[in-house]
Amino acid sequence: MKIDHLAVVGATGAVGREVCTILESRNIRPEKLTLLASERSKNREIVVFGISHKIEVLTERSFDGVQYAVFSAGAERSREFAPIAVRAGAVVIDNSSAYRMDPTTPLVVPEINPQAVFQHRGIIANPNCSTIIMNVAVYPIHRVIPVRRIVVSTYQSASGAGAAAMEELRTQTADVLAGRRAVPTSFPHPIAFNLFSHNTPIGSDGLNTEERKMIDETRKIFAAPDLSISATCVRVPVPRAHSESINLTLERPMSPADARAILETAPGAKVVDDAEGNYFPMPIGASGRDEVLVGRIRRDPSQSDGRGLDLFVCGDQLRKGAALNALQILELLVR
């Protein structure tokens, strides 16, 4: 795999740092690596492949000679700088929401729609973390018998809100344990020993932006514009793995045994479903892992026609939910 020049935009953020870690673990070794961030991170250094890289400040000149750029610096930064990177000749893999629903931008989960990567016009969008984690578990079933409806409730980790939010979970929890007041800064509400509806704006339809992303992005990735989805997105006091309770209605009945057999060979998924030992997917088991863990695979007793299945999944929000998926897209491009 040959990459002349890779730029990582937002290299000091939670996802950017994970990108650097995964470059090493997957041995994606560009000839030249440029780590970009805002003024705030200037002069910081990050060691990748044993070499210390000084953080450079992101500017309009940052992309000269860059072949691939992985953006994880928020939608606003992507909207401003991704077109500049493309004009400079780079292919952009964008972790933000900026281009995901743009009809000319591929939105890719490599286990699901790898072919879409090659239709890019300079930018490839990396889906929302909750979307990716759900899709890795649901698509293998959908391929065999189409899924008609999904009712999903999420248990989302602090990492989705960035490195500062992860730190807030730690420090605020220590404060509460010491009898001090919880003082939220990254989040609008206390996260220590609490949970709350996902803190993204609510639209006129009553859905927050995270729920809207799960619905719209899943339809685009599955190429299933009529797929019906109800999503409820909730933030929980967990550092870096998202969990999701998923209820499915299929076009035709599928037994839990068949679903389990399908998921056992599904790319990117790992079945963790020990009913006897009461051992199922947990955030601590998913954290730092590449696979989305899938368990509690069972018949939905509320659908007497056998078309209902329930699942519970956990996936590392920073890895498969963000950095890993982006670098899998890079691997597809380079291969």
Nearest partner of 130 among 285, 269, 313, 257, judged by Cα: 313
Query: Which of residues 120, 299, 319, 320 is near a second copy by CB under 8 A?
Result: 299
How far is it, in rounded angstroms, from Cα 229 to Cα 244?
14
Residue that has been written with the tokens 């509690």 in this structure: 296
Q: How far is the CB of 267 from a second copy (least distance, A)?
A: 24
Q: Among this protein's residues, is 20 annotated catalytic?
A: no
Q: Is 232 in the site for a second copy (CB under 8 A)?
A: yes
Decide if residue 275 touches a second copy (CB under 8 A): yes
242 is catalytic: yes
In the bound state with a second copy, the residue whose beta carbon lies nearer, of 93 and 150, is 150
Distance CA 260, CA 240 (A): 26
Contact region with a second copy (CB under 8 A), list: 95-103, 105-113, 133-141, 150-158: 150-158
Contact status: 245 vs a second copy (CB under 8 A): yes
Stretch that binds a second copy, among 61-69, 121-129, 134-142, 188-196 (CB under 8 A): 188-196
Instruction: Please report how close the Cβ of residue 233 comes to a second copy at its closest, in angstroms.
Output: 9
d(CA 55, CA 34): 8
Rule CB under 8 A: say whether 321 interacts with a second copy: no
Q: Which residue has 């989705």 as its token pair?
A: 160
Among 21, 38, 186, 194, binds a second copy (CB under 8 A): 194
Measured between alpha carbons, how far is 3 from 173 in angstroms, rounded to an integer?
A: 43
**Contact status: 228 vs a second copy (CB under 8 A):** yes
Residues in binding contact with a second copy, number by CB under 8 A: 60
Binding site for a second copy (CB under 8 A): 149-151, 153, 155, 169-170, 173-174, 177, 188-190, 193-197, 199, 201-202, 205-208, 215, 228-230, 232, 234, 236-239, 243, 245, 247, 256, 275-276, 278, 280-284, 295-304, 308, 310, 312
Query: Which residues are marked as active site?
Result: 129, 242
